[in-house]
Structure 1
Amino acid sequence: MGRLMGPDQQNHTDETDRVQLGKLLRSARQGAEMTQLEARNLIGKSQSTMAKIEAGTTSISRQSLQKLIAVYEPPADAIPTMWALWEKTSSPARLRQGKRIGTPVWFGEVLDKEQLAEELWSWTGERIHGLIQCESYMIDQFDGEGRGPEISPRLLQRQKRQRLFDQEGKSFVFLFSEAALDRLCAQTEHPHVVTDQLKHMAELAERDNITIRVVPYRAVAYVDSDFIILRETDGDSAYSEYLTNVHWANARELATYREAWDALLSIAASPEDTLEDLRRRCKLADRGDPDGG
């Protein structure tokens, strides 16, 4: 299990590193007495993209950073810092290996809307939604590559997000495929994680404002891709998440999302049957866990 960082390190995320890199680039550009327009011409980007780079809301390629440093000629001690920040947030290897630690900038709107929503309806197929993941499952997921203390910011952010469950007037419905449970229970390397996660979901399912239902294999041969519907007084919103962003549904698409949700709900096992299945699987996992009961 990774050691948690101290308070002075907890806000150190990809987002803050990208913002810091943007500040250094803006300072270097101003030091070179160049405008954003001139800078964007150097790297062949639009002025709005250049503004986002300096604001830290989008990444920059190695080639573009190299060009800007060569022309800006920033102080010698700033150059290693720029490259270190770039390696932490934007290097292809980091993105490809899934090593992002902080919450991506583009996910901020999701977090904001979750706070405002009165109801959250989630379909995650073979995945277990982050809101219903236990701590050991999160650590096992984030620390799969042995990053140790680096996982702390993301772990803390997700735990903070789970406080939504304690807000008065909110309700949650989580649907996922039977495959999500099979995939979880097939993880034999860390059996305690399987047991922890099953117990955690069973405990959540007993809360008045949380419903968890599984869509069995036998119910349907094909299921829709993952999506979330957020319901609030001013109107519903819905999104689908992919590797690098989220797609927010427009008014016409929203009706399709609702139809898909109703269809899934109609074939899902009841909350009672799902809870019974979670407890059954938990007992089986306990038997296979040398540290279990």
Structure 2
Amino acid sequence: MIGARLRTARKAAGVTQARVAAVLELSQSTVTKIEKGQTTISADNLGKLVEFLGVDEATAAELRKFSEADAAERQRSRRPAGPLWFGDIPDLERRAREIRSWTGERLPGVLQSEQYMRALFQGRANVDDLVEARKDRQRLFDHEGIREFLLSESALDRVRATADPLMALDQVQHLLKCGELAGVAIRIVPYAADLYVAPDFTILRLDEGDRVYVEYQSGKLLLHKHKDVREHWDAWAVLDELALPVEESARLLAGIRDRLDAGLAGQA
């Protein structure tokens, strides 16, 4: 179990849980849960911890291996809560040569900042697990390929209108950082496009053929039939035509960031 091995490495380095929590910017209770195997540690935090503890490369490789095994086991254990295929979605996303994603009224989980996630999951009993699972899906950015996201301007307004301007600012800054990653494009479909496409969908281009992941209010579907896939590529073509270019979308996001920043400065 990765938690027990991390605890052993921490104690061998003579480091307290409180110090680890400070380095990883987590609560000490979360560090305790990680060491007890009650929640997972993200790949980013594992890398930070390995570097901080100064473990040798062989131990670091072993820790990464056990971390991946723990994450896979947790993913399998979550499958009964939904359609059996849903547990495979993160794996499909990581294997996809291309990802084309459209969301009309929300931000996709893979583009959410941790602060934004925690606000969404507030009140849930297993917030840490939900956040770590969503951050694990963001590992798709560690793999080469095209990742293009089309967001409606309405989705951005929902972020901007949140009661917590600091969280909204953090999320917009996170979107700008994601847009700078290699192979990633974030484009905005403006209100002026006067377009409504439902539901949200993601096209995954895989070696074995294209798949479409569709989200409805009532559930989720994974489509593979040629007719279904073709219909969503056609919908994508319409959205692609209406979306702002990458540079203009980045300027729009930067403008939202600057207005949020100015508003916070005015409250100081």
Structure 1: segments with no counterpart, 5+ residues: 20-55, 60-102
| Structure 1 residue 208: Cα displacement | 2.5
Match for 2:135: what amino acid? Q
Larger relative helix fraction: 2
Structure 2 equivalent of residue 26 of structure 1: none
Q: Does 1:263 align with 2:242?
A: no
Q: Give identity over the alignment, percent.
A: 34
Between Structure 1 and Structure 2, how many residues are aligned?
Answer: 207
CA-based RMSD of the aligned residues comes to 2.9
Are the equivalent residues in 2 in contact too, given 1:198–1:281 (CA < 8 A)?
yes
Structure 2: segments with no counterpart, 5+ residues: 1-25, 41-69
Match for 2:128: what amino acid? S
Q: Distance in 2 between matches of 1:247 and 1:269?
A: 28
Q: Does 1:159 align with 2:135?
A: yes
Q: Distance in 1 between matches of 2:112 and 2:267?
A: 19
Are the equivalent residues in 2 in contact too, given 1:198–1:282 (CA < 8 A)?
yes
| Structure 1 residue 242: Cα displacement | 2.8
| Structure 1 residue 176: Cα displacement | 1.2
Q: Does 1:183 align with 2:153?
A: no
Q: Distance in 2 between matches of 1:285 and 1:57?
A: 39
Cα gap change, 1:224 to 1:281, in 2 (>3 Å): same
Per-residue CA shift, 1:178-217, capped at 9, x if unaligned? 1001111011x21111000001101111223110001011
| Structure 1 residue 283: Cα displacement | 0.6
Are the equivalent residues in 1 in contact too, given 2:189–2:239 (CA < 8 A)?
yes
Cα gap change, 1:292 to 1:159, in 2 (>3 Å): farther
- Note the 1:59-208 alignment, pairs <5 A: 106-143=85-122, 145=123, 147=124, 150-167=126-143, 169-187=144-162, 189-208=163-182
Give me the TM-score of the superposition, normalised by structure 1.
0.63
Give me the TM-score of the superposition, normalised by structure 2.
0.69
Structure 2 equivalent of residue 241 of structure 1: 215
Q: Distance in 2 between matches of 1:238 and 1:124?
A: 13
Structure 2 equivalent of residue 276 of structure 1: 251
Question: The residue matched to 1:4 in structure 2 has which SS?
Answer: helix
Match for 1:233: what amino acid? D
Question: The residue matched to 2:236 in structure 1 has which SS?
Answer: helix
Question: The residue matched to 2:199 in structure 1 has which SS?
Answer: coil
- Note the 1:4-15 alignment, pairs <5 A: 4=30, 6-7=33-34, 8=36, 9-10=38-39
Cα gap change, 1:57 to 1:273, in 2 (>3 Å): closer
